[in-house]
Amino acid sequence: MLIRPKAGILDPQGEAVQRALPALGFDGVRDVHVGRLIELDVDDPGQLEAMCEKLLANPLIEDYEVVVQDATTE
Amino acid sequence: MLIRPKAGILDPQGEAVQRALPALGFDGVRDVHVGRLIELDVDDPGQLEAMCEKLLANPLIEDYEVVVQDATTE
């Protein structure tokens, strides 16, 4: 799943990256956001949303997106 | 971009999640890996790989995947 800071919530990692890139010579960079990528194999994909709500994300300050990839198609 | 711990490199966040999920009643979970999701708008997508090498990822212990999304198609 992909976990992102909610719009309007402070994103200090994103701000740090946005400030650091021009200092390294990378210009034209805007709207940097840093979130988390969590990958796992699970028997029951129906549990993924509950996992995000209860452990993997903080629903107060983060949005999550569940991306299901069927193992048989990989 | 998506940044993942390289295979074989210690992934303590992934291990912590893998141990915590069964304790919360989520069973059948394997191969948990925690990485980072970095999203940004950039004028020149050709710079993205260099940004990963120089700042956003640690190429010694992390793999990165650049996913370009054309702003005009969003």
Compute the count of residue pairs across chains A and B with CB atoms less than 8 Å apart. 98
pLDDT score for B72: 63
Minimum CA–CA partner of A40 in chain B:
B32
Sequence-ordered list of residues with C-beta below 8 angstroms from that of B43, at least 6 positions apart, any chain: A27, A28, A29
- Residue appearing with tokens 């141990």: B19
For residue A63, pLDDT beyond 70: yes
For residue A73, pLDDT beyond 70: no
pLDDT tens digit sequence for B8-53: 999 999 999 999 999 999 999 999 999 999 999 999 999 999 999 9
Angstrom distance (rounded) from CA A2 to CA A34: 11
User: How close B29 comes to chain A (CA, Å)?
Assistant: 4
**Given CB atoms, is B37 within the 8 Å cutoff of chain A?**
yes
ipTM of the complex: 0.91
Query: Kind of pairing, strands A62-65 and A29-42?
Result: unpaired
Strands in A2-5's sheet, in edge-to-edge order, are A62-65, A2-5, A29-42, B29-42, B2-5, B62-65
Q: Which of B29, B41, B56 sits opposite A40 (nearest CB)?
A: B29
User: How close B50 comes to chain A (CA, Å)?
Assistant: 9
CA distances from A50 to A37, A61, B26, B51 (A): 16, 16, 9, 35
Mean pLDDT of B47-65: 97
Minimum CA–CA partner of B44 in chain A:
A28
Give B-chain residues touching A38 at CB under 8 angstroms: 17, 32-35
| Coil/strand/helix, residue A29 | strand
